[in-house]
Structure 1
Amino acid sequence: MSATFDFIIVGGGTAGCLLAHRLSHASAQPSVLLVEAGSKPEGEYLRAQSHRYSPVALRPDLDHGFTSTPQKELNQRSIVYTRGKGLGGSSILNFAVYLYGSAEDYDRWAGLVGDDSWAWEHARQSFQAIENYDFEAASQFPHLANPDPKLHGKNGSVKVCLPPALEDDIVPTMEALIKHGEKVNLDMNSGDPMGIGLFPSSYSKDGRTTSATAHLVDPPSNLTIWTGSPVHRLTFDGTKVVGIETAHGRNASSSKEVVLCGGAIDTPKILLLNGIGPAAELERLGIDVVKDLAGVGKALHDHVMTFLCAEVDSKHNNRYAFESNEKGMKEAEELWKRNQTGDLALYHSCLWGGFLKLPGFENWPEYKALDQGLQDFLARERTPTYEFIGNCLQWPPGTKLPEGSSYITTIAFVMNPQSQGSVTLASQNPDDKPIIELGYLEHPYDRRVLREAIRETWTKVYDNPEVKKHFKSRLCGPEDLSDEKIEAFMKDATTTVWHANGSVVMGKKDDPRGCVDSDLRVYGVEGLRVADVSVCPLTTNNHTQATAYLVGQKAAEKLITEYGLDSGSAAKL
C-alpha cells in the first residue's frame, strides 16, 4: 500500500528537518513525509559542549561510514568522510561552528545563478528567520565580541550563542595577536568575516542544537516521519517523480513534489541510481537513463585543512589536566547531567580564529592563472584567502603529555578551493557505497594557499611572544617553515572538515554543469527538487552548517510562495 502526501522530503538532515518544519507549519497544513535512513539519536556524547568533537569518534552508529578513494596529492591516503546518519544529519556530528560566510559569497552566488533571491540582502533575512541568537554572553568580553542585535534573529528555532565563560588561554592569546596587528572582528556574522574573533556556535546553555532538536519537537499531525528508511528508488510517471520506495519496500506517493535533502554525497547517489546523471556513466552500469544531466556527481568541492599542535606548559592552559583526569571527568559528567553546568560546559565551548588575506597573493602565478571573474571575487575586501582556528582538540588525539604540560591546537584552512572531486556509483546496487573522489590539492592554487596558510598560522600563534614563552615542543606541524618541509607535511597531514558541496550544482539553464535551477528544481525532471549543500555553486567562506540551513530555508520560502501555502486565503490541502 502506498500512502500519499503533498510533499516528500528525502533526508532528515540539517536542511531536511528545517524544510519539514516550515512546510508542515504553513497555514495550508500540507501533508509532509520526512524519510530518514537513520534513527532518532539518543545516548552519550551528543549534547555537552566539551563533547564538541566526541560524536565523530565515539558514535559510529550515527555515521554513514564513507571513505574516499586514495588521494594522489596526499601520499595516496584515503580520507574517512563522516556524514551524519539519523534525524539531524551532520548537525549531530559537526563541530557546531555557526558562521554565515561573506556577503560576497551570496552576491556571487546570485550572479552565477541569475537570481537575486540568493544575494546577501535576501540571504541575511533568511538567516535571521533560522536563528535564535543569545546576546547575553557577549557582554562578558565586549572587546572581543559585540554582535549587533539588529543583524541577527531571535525568533528562529536554531539556538546560536557565544559561551558565557571562556577557557583561561583564549582571551590572552587573542589579545596577544591583536597586540601584534591583527584586526578584531566583533561580529563574525555581519557579512564581513575578516579579522579574528570568537566564533558563534549552535550551542546554548542546554547543549548542542541539532536540526532535529530545533525543528522536530512536537511535530504537527500533518508531518509524518519515517526513520530507518533509506530511500533507494524514485517512482516515475514518465519523467515526473511521483513518489519514493525505501530499501525495505515501503512506498509513498507525492501529489506535489519530492525534495532530496541527502547532502553532497547521498543526493547525487540517489539521482544516479534513478537514471538522472551523465548518460554514458549510467549506461555502463546498466541503469536506464531518465535524464542525461552531465553535472550530477561532478564539481564536488570541499575545504581542506591541517591541524597544528604544540605542547605548552600548564601556565598557558590546564585543558590537558582536565581531560586526562578520569575522576574529574566523571564528576564533570555528573554535574552536566544534573544541571548542564561545570567543566563539560566550559572546555571546548568556544572556538575562535580568523578569516584573513595572505600577503601578496595577487602576485602569485597560481592566482593570475585563474579566471578573471574569480580573480576579481578573490580580491574583494570581504573575501578571505584562508581561515585559521584556535582552541581545537589535541592532535594527534590521545597523545600523552608529562605532568605540567598541556597543548594548544590550531587549524589552517584553504578558503575558496579550486580542486574538484566527484561522486559516482560503484554499481547499480543501492546498498553499495558510492565512489568518492575528493581531488584534494590537485589545483595549484589550493596547494599554494594551504602552504602559506600553514606558515602564517604557525607564525601568528606559536611564534607570538606571549605564546612562545610557554612553548615546549611541536606535536603536529612541519619540521620547519621552509616550502619544502611544509609541502611534505601537507601530503602527510592534509584532511577534511567535511564541508563537501556542489555535487548537484545550481546553475543557469545554459550552464553545462548545472543540475538544478535557482528554485532548486532538477532540470528536465518534473516534481523533483534538491535542497542541501550539493546545490552550492561556490564553497562559502564559513563552516557549511549555516549554509545547509540557509538552503533548507530558501527551499521552504520558494515552495510556500509557489504553492500559496501561507497566503491569507490558502485553503487546507
Structure 2
Amino acid sequence: MAHERSYDFIVIGGICLLPIVTIYQPLTKFIGGPAGCTLAASLASSARKPTVLLLEAGGRNEDKSLRVDGKRWKTYMEENMNWGSQTTPQEHCNGRRLDYSRGKGLGGSSSINFGVYTVGARDDYDLWAAEVDDETFSWDKMQTRFRKLETFAGTIDIPEKQKYGQPEPTNHGNKGGLHVGYAKEWDSDLTMVLDAFEEAGIQRNLDHNSGNPLGFGLCINSASEGIRSTAADLLSEELDNLRIVSDSPVQRIILERNRVVAAEANGKKCGLYRSFGSLETPKILMHSGIGPAEELSKFNIAINHDLPAVGKGLRDHFFAPLVVVRNPQTNDRNDFYQDQVAMEAAMNQWEIDGTGPWTRYGCQLGIGWLKSDRITSSEEFKDLPQPVQDFMNRETIPHYEIISHFPVHFTFPQLFQDYSYICLPVFLMNEQSVGEVRLQSPDPDEPLSFNPKFLEHPFDRRACIEVYRHLWDLAKYHSFAKDTVSTIMAPASESDEDILQFWKDNLSSSWHMTGTVKMGKDGDSDAAVDSRFCVFGVENLRVADMSVVPVLTNNHTQATAYMTGATCADVLIGEYSLNK
C-alpha cells in the first residue's frame, strides 16, 4: 500500500535524502547500518525535531536470541541477516573466492560482525582531516562524537583483574545509545595470555580506545550485560518523528540536469524534492548514471555524470590465524562446549536474566596493535611513497593487530572436538593493495563484482611474512609455549615461502570495505565526494557511509562507520540550523 506523507529527511540505509517532500511507497534495498542509523537518529533528535524516514532493505532482526553475547561469532551464518556476498577469484590467494559478508536488516553489519569495538588511532583522523582539508574530521572532533555515541561499561569487578583495563573516564561517554565495554566474566586463561605477551616484551595497553591503540590488552566489545549492541539500538522508540520502514528495496536515483528529483524502487518512483545518501553506494550511483562513463557504457546505462572515482579505491583489512591446542587444565572450555545440556541450560539462564555461561565463554578477547621494525626496514617499505612511509611512522599508527581467544570453532566446527585451543588471528594494517567494485549487469538487482585484490602489492606480501613471524615468536615464548600441546593451523615451516603460502591459502577478509566513493578535495582525481558529503557534480545528493572514508582506519571499522553517520548529521544540523 502506498503511504503519502511529507518528510524532512529520508535515509536509505546510508543514502540520505534531504529536506524532502515525498510520496513514498515502501520499496527499497538498503541497510540501516551504523552510518545510516546514526544519521537518522541524530537528525531526528535535533532540537527542531525534523521528520525522518529510514528505509531498510531487510527485516527488523527483532529475535532476542540473535543478541546472545557468546554467540555473536555465528550470527553472520543466519541467511536472512547476510547478503551472502563473495569476492571475485583472488589472483594472489590461489584463485579463492572469499567471504564478503554484509549485514542484511536493521542494524546492518553491526548485527552480524564479531563485536569488536575499536575507534582506531588519532593519527587516522588527523590524516582524514588533512586529506580533505577540513578539521571536522580531526581526532579532537571525532573523539567528542565517540563519547556522545556510547555508554561505556568499563568497570572490572574482580580486584586482581583490574590491572588489565584502566580506561580514563574522559575518553568515554556514559549517556549514548550504544552500549560497549568489557564482559563481566572471561575465559579462565585470558589473563595468562595477557601476562605471557607482556613478559615477551609487548607493551600493555589499558585502553585501546584512547586514540593510541598501540600495545596489548582487553578488547572493548560492542556488547554489554551479555547482550550484543547494534546500530538499531540508536533508534529510540521515543522519537515519534522518526519512522522506520523495513523489508523495502531502491535500485536507482533519478536525476534531471544533474539534480536529484526522485528515487526508483522496483520500477516505481518515489518523488523527492532534495536528496542525499548512501549504502550500496557505488551500485546505486552507477545504476543512476553517476560513475565512470566507460564502465556505464558497457551496460548501456545512460550517463548522467561521468565520475571516474566511483567504484575505485576499495581497501580492506585481512587476517590469517595461528591455532594451537592447549593443556586442558589451563581452561574449562571443554566443560561447556562439549556438554550440550550445559549449553542449553546456559541459554535458558540467558533468556531469564541475561547472565550465565553464554556471557562468559568467547565474550572477552585480548587485543593489541603493534609496530614492526622488520616491516619498516624492508625494501618493500622503503619503496613506498614518502607520505605513506611518514604516516606509518606516526606515533599512534600500528602496522598489525593480534587478537587472542577468537572462538574459531563456531566458523569451522568440524575441526574441533577439543575446545582448549587458542586461536590467535593476525591482521595486517595499512595494506597497500587497492581493489574495485564493478557492475556485472545492467540489472540493478544483480550484485556488484567485488575485487579487493588482496596481496597484489609487494609490500603487503612482505608485511604478512614479517607480522606472522612475530606472532609465531610470541607463541614460542616460554610463558605461553609451556602450555601448548600441539598446533592445528600454522605454516608448514618458518620460511618466507611457506609463510606466504599459508596466507594465500587461509587469508580472510575482515569485512572492513572502505573508500569506493572516496571523500576528497575538489579536483582530486580519486575523489567522488567533498567534505560536506556532497557528490561532485550532482545537486542534492550526499553520501555518508564507509564508502566515502578516505583512510582505512587502524581498527575494526564499525566504529568509523558510526562516526561517519554522526559527522554527516552534525554537518546537516549545522547547515539547516536544526538545533536552533
Fold-level similarity (TM above 0.5): yes
Runs of 4+ aligned structure 1 residues displaced above 4 Å come to: 400-403
CA shift, 1:248, in A, is: 6.4
CA shift, 1:402, in A, is: 5.8
**8 Å contact 1:138–1:162 — kept in the other structure?**
no
**8 Å contact 1:14–1:549 — kept in the other structure?**
yes
Aligned partner of 1:514 in structure 2 is 527
> Gaps spanning 5+ residues in structure 1: where?
568-573
Q: Give the aligned residue type for 1:268.
A: P
CA shift, 1:361, in A, is: 2.3
Distance between the aligned counterparts of 2:350 and 2:264, measured in 1?
A: 42
1:178 counterpart = 2:193: no
Q: Which moved more, 1:476-485 or 1:500-509?
A: 476-485
Residues 225-304 of structure 1: matches in 2 within 5 Å? Answer: 225-247=244-266, 249=268, 251-260=269-278, 262=279, 266-304=280-318
CA shift, 1:234, in A, is: 0.9
Distance between the aligned counterparts of 2:135 and 2:95, measured in 1?
A: 42
Aligned partner of 2:24 in structure 1 is none
Distance 1:130 1:492, change over 3 A: same
1:61 counterpart = 2:80: yes
Select which of 140, 159, 170 maps to 1:150: 170
Aligned partner of 1:437 in structure 2 is 451
CA shift, 1:216, in A, is: 1.8
Distance between the aligned counterparts of 2:157 and 2:297, measured in 1?
A: 57
Aligned partner of 1:84 in structure 2 is 103
Aligned partner of 1:570 in structure 2 is none
| Deviation string, structure 1 residues 513-562 (Cα, Å, up to 9, x no partner) | 10100111111111111111111111000000100000010011000000
Aligned partner of 2:215 in structure 1 is 195
Aligned partner of 1:398 in structure 2 is 413
CA shift, 1:241, in A, is: 1.3
Select which of 355, 367, 374 maps to 1:353: 367
1:167 counterpart = 2:167: no
| Deviation string, structure 1 residues 277-301 (Cα, Å, up to 9, x no partner) | 0011101110111111111010100
| Deviation string, structure 1 residues 409-438 (Cα, Å, up to 9, x no partner) | 010111011101111111110111111111
Distance between the aligned counterparts of 1:524 and 1:492, measured in 2?
A: 43
Select which of 425, 443, 457 maps to 1:411: 425
| Deviation string, structure 1 residues 53-75 (Cα, Å, up to 9, x no partner) | 01012x11111111111000000
**8 Å contact 1:515–1:523 — kept in the other structure?**
yes
1:126 counterpart = 2:171: no
Distance between the aligned counterparts of 1:150 and 1:402, measured in 2?
A: 44
Q: What SS does structure 2 have at the residue aligned with 1:65? A: coil
Aligned partner of 2:242 in structure 1 is 223
**8 Å contact 1:230–1:246 — kept in the other structure?**
yes
Q: What SS does structure 2 have at the residue aligned with 1:410? A: strand
Distance 1:466 1:248, change over 3 A: farther
Q: Give the aligned residue type for 1:109.
A: W
Q: What SS does structure 2 have at the residue aligned with 1:311? A: strand
Distance between the aligned counterparts of 1:525 and 1:401, measured in 2?
A: 53
Distance between the aligned counterparts of 1:256 and 1:277, measured in 2?
A: 20
Select which of 7, 10, 14 maps to 1:8: 10
Q: What SS does structure 1 have at the residue aligned with 2:147? A: helix
> Gaps spanning 5+ residues in structure 2: where?
14-31
CA shift, 1:17, in A, is: 0.9
**8 Å contact 1:5–1:255 — kept in the other structure?**
no
**RMSD across aligned positions (CA):** 1.6
CA shift, 1:253, in A, is: 3.4
Identical counterparts, % of pairs: 38
Distance between the aligned counterparts of 1:513 and 1:427, measured in 2?
A: 24
Aligned partner of 1:310 in structure 2 is 324
Q: Give the aligned residue type for 2:184.
A: P
Distance 1:139 1:270, change over 3 A: farther
Select which of 544, 549, 562 maps to 1:536: 549
| Deviation string, structure 1 residues 217-266 (Cα, Å, up to 9, x no partner) | 315332222211111121323211133222363x4334443322x1xxx1
| Deviation string, structure 1 residues 7-45 (Cα, Å, up to 9, x no partner) | 111111111111111111222222211111100003365
| Deviation string, structure 1 residues 101-127 (Cα, Å, up to 9, x no partner) | 001101111111111110111111111
Q: Give the aligned residue type for 1:55.
A: T
1:99 counterpart = 2:114: no
CA shift, 1:206, in A, is: 4.8
1:27 counterpart = 2:41: no
Aligned partner of 1:571 in structure 2 is none
